[in-house]
Amino acid sequence: MSRSQTRLRCPDTVNVLLLGTGGREHALAWRLKKSKRLGTLWVEADANAGLTEIGRVCPEPINDMFRLVRWCERENISLVVIGPEAPLAADYATKLADHPKRVVFGPSKAGAQLEWDKAFAKQVMRAASVPAADGRVFTDAEQALAYVETRVDGCVVKATGLCAGKGVVVCKTIAEAKRAVEDCLVRKVFGDAGATILIEELLDGPEVSVLALCDGQSFWILDPAQDHKRVGEGDTGPNTGGMGAFSPTPKATDDLLRIVQRDVLVPTVDALKRMDIPFRGVLYAGLMVTPAGPKVLEFNTRFGDPETQPIMARLKGDLVELCWATATGQLSEVELSFDRRAACCVVVCSKGYPGSYPKGLEITGLDEARATEHAPGEEIIIFHAGTTRKNGQIVTNGGRVLGVTALAETVERASALASEAAAKIHFDGAFYRRDIGRTL
């Protein structure tokens, strides 16, 4: 963001371009649509069927920055909301905000480095004395292998670049750690993203994510949500992008949130500021609550997917105004509150996920799922993730296909209702976890 945009007034009518094509973005779009300031909502051409139903399709290819910027000018886009990490890492935030009347929700490439470079994140945390797992950075396989020989209590080997959630290996034995080091530094399975690795001490404890909006100065901590990463019920099987999420979660107590704000969020953003990097967007701290207090495992610089689905279901207030305030340093002037009801999102997946899966399968039962019997005060919202339209039909187009989300009095009830609705959705091989929000 250029300095001239700081404190720029939010126009009465805001045309928005939303970047990203998945479930998180459908949840953001659904909430943006409720804003009284929203003019036209534009989405990417290859966005899922839920997004293209509520947004107009941007005719320009997203990867042609020259044309995209000219199109933004023609369509009078005054707010760009960036969902995923890849455009943040490609500095879309800076490039698209290069206009006196357009602002971007999402940090610059320099701010997003907290996510796309785990070695940089470690360096910032050290400089800011943020509690985190001890770790060392390596580029040389021999040195890394010699180091893991000494890690008899286990360790965690992390590719430092963006690996779509696949670059972290928790190693209980030295042999596992050696294999993980060799995968990155010798076999180069992650390419450049794994050319530098971080070897961390193995921590133990419950995991909590804390997401905050940050305008470079002030914070709004969002009501905490928790996701389930393992594919199988009872948190078993391989890791996925997230099989479901719920909010609120009893794990993130007010005390914990206060500690995280004081010891993690504020010092991290201050350290960036000292490096002349104003951080504006979502700061997402993945934490492990150890006996010595919460320690940071990773930072993301965007909303989580699928945590955004229950968060947006519960968010009150105007999302256009919130994004605008975040992007222009005016967060202290807006109000943020959450529905007191709980929300639970159950992700319906394609057979084979998180491995390979078929695409193009016809999806039925969406209306029946929405019509699942529920009490007054309860709600069912179906967010699309990996879907598209083919010959007028909605078909599968990804591993995580739909996020069936319910709002109800308790997490348990929201979970039961979302699972009941998910059962009405059919495509060949569809599956979901019935225990989202129940194995706390």
Q: Report the C-alpha gap between 27 and 34 in whole angstroms.
A: 11
Residue 202 interacts with ligand AMP (CB under 6 A)? Answer: yes
Task: Compose the 298-317 pattern: x for residues touching ligand AMP by CB under 6 A, - for all others.
Answer: x-------------------
Q: Which is nearer to ligand AMP, 132 or 425 (CB)?
A: 132
Query: For residue 197, how far is the Cα from the chain centroid?
Result: 23
Q: Is 420 in the site for ligand GLY (CB under 6 A)?
A: no
Stretch that binds ligand AMP, among 56-64, 85-93, 198-206, 242-250 (CB under 6 A): 198-206
Task: Say how many residues touch ligand AMP, by CB under 6 A.
Answer: 12
227 touching ligand GLY, by CB under 6 A: yes
Q: Name which of 183 and 227 has its Cβ closer to ligand GLY.
A: 227
Which of 44, 60, 263, 307 touches ligand GLY (CB under 6 A)? 307
Q: Which amino acid belongs to residue 342?
A: A
Nearer to ligand AMP by Cβ, of 11 and 286: the residue is 286
Would you give the end-to-end CA distance of the chain in angstroms? 40
d(CA 259, CA 99) in angstroms, rounded, equals 38
Using the rule CB under 6 A, is 300 a contact of ligand GLY?
Answer: yes
Contact 242, 403 (CB under 8 A): no
Cα distance between residue 183 and residue 383, in whole Å: 36
Structure tokens at 93: 């935030």
Binding mask 239-268 toward ligand AMP (x if CB under 6 A, else -) reads ------------------------------
Give the residue from 105, 56, 24 showing the smallest Cα distance to 319. 105
Specify the residue, 296 or 407, whose C-beta has the smaller distance to ligand AMP.
296
Spatial separation of the C-alpha atoms in residues 318 and 138, rounded to whole Å: 45
Distance in Å, CB of 286 to ligand AMP, minimum: 4
Bridge partner list, 221: 212
Select the residue interacting with ligand GLY from 25, 44, 183, 305 (CB under 6 A): 305
Name 190's Cβ contacts closer than 8 Å, sequence gap at least 6: 159, 161, 163, 166, 167, 183, 184
Site mask for ligand AMP (CB under 6 A), range 143-172, x = bound: -------------x-x---------x-x--
Does residue number 207 form part of the binding site for ligand AMP (CB under 6 A)? yes
For 360: left if phi > 0, alpha if psi spans -120 to 50, otherwise beta; the answer is left
Closest CB 404 distance from ligand GLY, rounded Å? 17
Using CB under 6 A, which residues numbered 38 to 77 contact ligand GLY?
none
CA distances from 27 to 44, 114, 295, 422, 427 (A): 15, 24, 29, 17, 22
- Contacts to ligand AMP by CB under 6 A: 133, 156, 158, 168, 170, 200, 202-203, 207, 286, 297-298
- Contacts to ligand GLY by CB under 6 A: 227, 242, 300, 304-305, 307
